[in-house]
Amino acid sequence: MKLPERLRCYNAGKISGLSYLGALAKFNKYDQVIYDSIGMQPVNPMIYGLNPCRPWLFHIIYDLFLMLRCDAVLFQPDWVESRGARIENFVAKLFLKEIYYT
């Protein structure tokens, strides 16, 4: 018997301006919140995203495609400080995604 797959939740927050390891640790922390508290499979753009050397525009386009394939979006507390996360918030509302704020 195959177990049902968990719904997916995109993890959105500030990345630019943070150290790579600091941002990765922060995203991993909220991945755990998504998994434990919301009960969904986290989709972390730092893990499933592009090479960090790519231009910002490539990242936001790719991340929007990642997010649109998810069932919900969790916005970290610092999302308002991030131009990319604010765009993700607008698109999530436009596509009527289930949204969580921490």
60's CB contacts (< 8 A; 6+ apart) are: 84, 87
Q: What is the pLDDT of residues 52-86, one digit of tens each?
A: 889 999 999 999 999 999 999 999 999 999 999 99
Per-residue confidence band for 1, with pLDDT thresholds at 50, 70 and 90: low
Entry pTM: 0.93
Region 23-43: mean pLDDT is 97
d(CA 15, CA 17): 6
Q: What is the pLDDT of residues 8-24, one digit of tens each?
A: 999 999 999 999 999 99
